[in-house]
Amino acid sequence: MCQAVRKGGVRAGTVMLILVAGLHAGAAPGLDRQWDFSDDMGAWRIQEGQWTVANGALVHHDPHFKGGLAGLPGVVLGDFRLEADVHITKVYWDKETVWVGFLSRAANPVANGGWSGGYGLILRANGEVVLAQTSGEGKELGKAKTRLRPQDGPVHLAIEGKGTHFRVYANGGLLFEGEDDVFATGEVALINFGNVATFDNVRLQGERVPVKKPEKRTPVLLTPKQHDPVTPLPRLAVRKEPGEPGTFYEKESGKPFFPRGFNHTVLEHYSTGWHATFN
């Protein structure tokens, strides 16, 4: 398995493209690219959000909680390793909720968005790390509550996928491993929600899946299971000052309310849309 290698003496503004041995013995030649973001975004393309290049890093600003995604269209991988130095420089909301991370094995996320299948690896501002499917029930492959503090400085986050087996690392140490066989190939992306976050020393290695011509890749949309009704949350309202993002609060008590996520209620046919509720 390839080991993490930092930027080192890479010349400013270069994007390294090296044909190397595959991630396991007997594999076909693979992809090895590294970005230092000294000049521009390189091959990364924006799907959502305000992205800039500053001080040798790729930066996403998300003051309105819409989320951000930048991907590599057409780079479809099987086995892979994605790593980067990620740093949350400002939190706009609740540190238990906001996060920075990666997508992997997604179906053309620049065209289809961040919930188009594949796996999401997120590092929350409170140090929790989660790897889960990004559609259907959002099955978790692994989770770790850590002492990482991405607001205090960069965290070197990495994920490896080999077949159905996944490993997640932070600052060179293994956090957890997981298994899943739903998504075998796909593209990667950088993602962020509710923060100002930077990505630096981004490196992508993997076995490229041949694509003869550009094609529309249909996302694998998993159907959620039906669950019993739950006790509703207190009645909520929104406070919003001019020019500022709104915040939720409980009407009776006046206490702030921070959603910890949401559930998708998918209608009978995906084409007719979906409804989201807080949990």
In order of 127, 128, 147, 156, 237, the CA distances from 98 in angstroms are 11, 10, 16, 18, 20
Please give the average per-residue pLDDT across 168-172, as a whole number: 97
Assign residue 246 a region: left if phi > 0, alpha if psi is -120 to 50, beta otherwise?
A: beta
Where do the domains of the chain lie?
15-208, 236-278
Q: Retrieve residue 119's tokens.
A: 């796996």
The pLDDT assigned to 50 comes to: 93
For residue 129, pLDDT beyond 80: yes
Is a pLDDT exceeding 90 seen at residue 220? no
Q: How confident is the model at residue 132 (pLDDT cuts 50, 70, 90)?
A: very high
The answer, yes or no, to whether residue 264 has pLDDT greater than 70, is no
| pLDDT of amino acid 212 | 60
Instruction: Look at residue 218 in the predicted model and tell me its pLDDT.
Output: 67
Q: Domain 15-208 belongs to what topology?
A: Jelly Rolls (2.60.120)
DSSP secondary structure, the chain, as one string: -PPP---TTPPTT-EEE--B--SSTTPPPBEEEEE--SSS-TT-EEEESEEEEETTEEEEE-TTS--EEEE-TT--EEEEEEEEEEEEEEESS-TTT-EEEEEEEES-HHHH-TTSSSEEEEEETTSEEEEEESSTT--EEEEEE----TTTS-EEEEEEEETTEEEEEETTEEEEEEE--S--SBEEEEEEESEEEEEEEEEEEEEEPP-SS--PPPP--PPPPP----PPPPPEEEE--TTS--EEEETTT--EE----EEEEE-SSGGG-EEEEE-
Is 0.75 topped by the overall pTM? no
Dihedral (Cα; 279, 139, 108, 100), 10-degree rounding: 60
| pLDDT band, residue 265 (cuts 50/70/90) | very low
Contacts of 22 (CB under 8 A, 6+ apart): 28, 29, 30, 79, 207
Q: Is the pLDDT of residue 71 over 70?
A: yes
| Least trusted range by pLDDT, from 142-156, 179-193, 253-267 | 253-267
For range 157-182, the mean pLDDT: 97
pLDDT category at 221 given cuts 50, 70, 90 is: low
